[in-house]
Amino acid sequence: MRYEEPVFRPPSEAFSLIVQATIGCSWNRCTFCGMYKMKKFRVRDIEEVKEDFRLAKEIYGDVRRVFLADGNALAADTDYLLEIADYANKLFNLERISCYATPQDILEKSKEELKEIRNAGIKLLYVGIESGDDEILERIRKGVSSNEIAEACMKAHECGFELSVTVLTGIGGKERSYKNARNTARLLNRISPKYTGVLTYIPVPNTPLYVKIKRGEFLLPNPLENLLELRWMVERIEARTIFRCNHASNYLPLKGTLPEDREKLLKAIDYAIAHPEVLKPEWLRGL
């Protein structure tokens, strides 16, 4: 397979065929993220993408899942996505196609376009919402408000997509830790994503937020403060969602389904707060 490195994918796509439909991220302005800073966004030539699919067919035979990289393949034109999905479905017996999407990508497409894309087999969208707190969203240059995120996610739901969203503890620093937890839970309750993944913010060198940390302008919560933020969030999530907090960045691996597993999750968090020796050491954490 041909890739323009580095390539990122969600943990749940570890066994999927990954094909780059786009290169980089069309937004690429978030102050905490360094994933695509070395790339200029572009949509790949469709014949190159088809060639990658044919090569994968020769190497792997049939595959069941396809993940369209890079940062937000949904930014590509609708006709382009429909042609890619149709080609992949003719080559493979697919369960689903998935991709990253920004709230802006969803808002910019009409409901008719989104329904066409969904009907073509692109069933799951991974959306990084990061926070439900508007001040944090503005500070990290997310480009959308919490209301716009909610509008985009509800629009995607209405058009038949499953959503897997990611949020970040620690992204508001010590100053807005409680507000990040409270307002993020409030946003999750509005959008009811099928999957919710909680990551712990880790500073990335050469990003604007990293520079603020080095200058002492942004104070990171320590591990126990981070767990308390996670607790505040979990105790407020009422939406039914498959909850995962087992990313490499997290101090405490957790998984369950909310709201029914709330007490089990809270007990695990409380135990870790009382016994911090069970937390993942810094040297084992990663992005």
What is the residue range of 257's domain? 11-276
Give CA separation, 98 vs 6, 43, 68, 105, 125, in Å.
19, 17, 6, 14, 6
Quote the number of domains for the chain.
1
> Is 17 contained in some domain?
yes
> Is 16 contained in some domain?
yes
Contact between 17 and 60 under an 8 Å Cβ cutoff? The reply is yes
Contact between 53 and 14 under an 8 Å Cβ cutoff? The reply is no
How does DSSP classify residue 99?
Answer: E
> Which 3-state string (H, E, C) describes 194-231?
CEEEEEECCCCCCCHHHHHHHCCCCCCCCHHHHHHHHH
CATH of the domain at 251: 3.20.20.70
> Is 169 contained in some domain?
yes
> Is 286 contained in some domain?
no
Q: In the prediction, which pLDDT does 167 show? A: 98
Task: Render each residue's pLDDT in the chain as its tens digit; 287 residues.
Answer: 789 999 999 999 999 999 999 999 999 999 999 999 999 999 999 999 999 999 999 999 999 999 999 999 999 999 999 999 999 999 999 999 999 999 999 999 999 999 999 999 999 999 999 999 999 999 999 999 999 999 999 999 999 999 999 999 999 999 999 999 999 999 999 999 999 999 999 999 999 999 999 999 999 999 999 999 999 999 999 999 999 999 999 999 999 999 999 999 999 999 999 999 999 999 999 88
Structure pTM?
0.96
> Which 3-state string (H, E, C) describes 101-115?
CCHHHHHHCCHHHHH
> Is 252 contained in some domain?
yes
CA-closest candidate to residue 238, choices 184, 199, 200, 170: 184
Q: In the prediction, which pLDDT does 51 show? A: 97
Q: In the prediction, which pLDDT does 231 show? A: 98
- The continuous run of DSSP H or E covering 15 comes out as none
Q: In the prediction, which pLDDT does 287 show? A: 81
> Is 4 contained in some domain?
no
How does DSSP classify residue 45?
Answer: P
> Is 80 contained in some domain?
yes
> Is 287 contained in some domain?
no
Q: How many CA atoms lie within 13 A of 61 on its CB side?
A: 0
Q: In the prediction, which pLDDT does 2 show? A: 87
The encoded tokens of residue 224 equal: 């126990």
Using DSSP's 3-state secondary structure scheme, residue 86 falls into helix
